[in-house]
Structure 1
């Protein structure tokens, strides 16, 4: 299985190597490392690993956490295959069929940030106008009014809401940590590019 681990660690030479060795000892193959932030002598990295499943993911968290100064902030399943360039695929599909730009975005965006589902919610009425395959029939609407992207927690879910063209794009995950600001920025940028590619086309959702 593919797992994503978010690890906070000291930003100094040798520590990343210690973490990599700890993964190797547990039989986890590191497929990708994404640096989310570096500040105040610490870094926050997302590791995508191939995991045999012999042990529970919680044990992987515990073993990595023994490296001095490290803190595992979350372990959760991911469908984001390293090297697959899903963001480019998304934008290519949107450019090829701008009439379905927002449907395409909703269907694809969750996998791009290791989330579980996404929906487009009508900004005026709060009704879901399109949802990805794992989306629920309703979403919390209280936080969908701001004119800027918002990350919040509601009912055990980590959510990001991005207003765009009469709808709010809402992305959610129940496993793993809250959305990092780098993930929120990625969603915002993708939504902005999709809006540009869609041009003046009527929203089809």
Structure 2
């Protein structure tokens, strides 16, 4: 299996060689080394290694910890192949070639680029600044975002932490989960990445250089996708006044009359006329119960809007 090993070590000649030798003696085959930071006589390096699945990682940790001045910051499974040069540019080229699926392409690709477990595009409630605390994990009373699209490894149901104010940053969540957040700068949309402790391993949080890389990808993708991002929305879950708990929502998904009259979703479906802000003639609305589905505003379907983006909500 592929492991990502993050160590802090003295920035002096010979120390990196000691770490490499220790990894080799323990049975790890180094396939990539990334220097994340060099500051004040210390360096932070990420090693991607091929590790025998039957071997215990505690032997590896003990060997690295025995090197004077070396500290292991984290060790976790790496998703996908090691990063080579130009992968960020290749991802942006794919988004530009097919902008209709651009957001889904970005969300599905970034976990492999950043050695994360999963990613999600989420929408922060527009009135987050006016809300007052009502307990962590609730939609009303916090800046907790609603999921618009999630990568295939994301847990279900997906509960996201509060991410306001909207700025690129890293944060730690409960149960050994580490997040990185970067805003698109449109419609309250943010990209969230997560690393999760598991299999007896402790993942490292997102380094500032990794957060900067995520922010650059998001800014570039936002420039490419432009107004398409304004079509992405995930309404907050209303609270049941009697139980003071989130109640099931019914989310409209507008579809052109020239295509299928109803959207293919899980749960019972019934078609009903749409009543958009401008009448939106020739539209139908598929009402779905259960999981929220991102609605598309009818006003965005004018003759100059082009093909609708294939933005979807993935569960599991």
Flag the 1:34–1:89 CA change in 2: closer, same or farther, 3 A.
same
Flag the 1:83–1:149 CA change in 2: closer, same or farther, 3 A.
closer
- 1:120 and 2:140 matched: no
SS at match of 2:104: helix
Larger RCO, structure (CA 8 Å, separation 6 or more): 1
| TM-score under structure 2 length normalisation | 0.61
- Offset of residue 101 of structure 1: 1.5
> Contact 2:22/2:64 (CA < 8 Å) preserved in 1?
yes
| TM-score under structure 1 length normalisation | 0.92
Flag the 1:83–1:131 CA change in 2: closer, same or farther, 3 A.
closer
> Contact 1:9/1:71 (CA < 8 Å) preserved in 2?
yes
Greater helix content? 1
What are the residue-to-residue correspondences of 1:1-205 with 2, within 5 Å?
1-84=1-84, 85-124=86-125, 126-136=145-155, 137-142=157-162, 144-156=163-175, 157-164=177-184, 165-166=186-187, 167-175=189-197, 176-202=203-229, 203=231, 204=309, 205=311
SS at match of 1:199: helix
SS at match of 1:140: coil
Which structure 2 segments of 5+ residues have no match?
Answer: 127-144, 198-202, 232-308, 312-316
User: Greater CA radius of gyration, 1 or 2?
Assistant: 2
Distance (whole Å) between structure 1 residues aligned to residue 149 and residue 83 of structure 2 = 28
> Contact 1:80/1:113 (CA < 8 Å) preserved in 2?
no
Q: RMSD in angstroms over aligned alpha carbons?
A: 1.7
CA deviations on 1:2-40 (whole Å, 9 max, x unpaired) are: 100001000000111111111111121111100000011
Q: How many correspondences in the alignment?
A: 204
Which structure 1 segments of 5+ residues have no match?
Answer: none
Distance (whole Å) between structure 2 residues aligned to residue 73 and residue 51 of structure 1 = 18
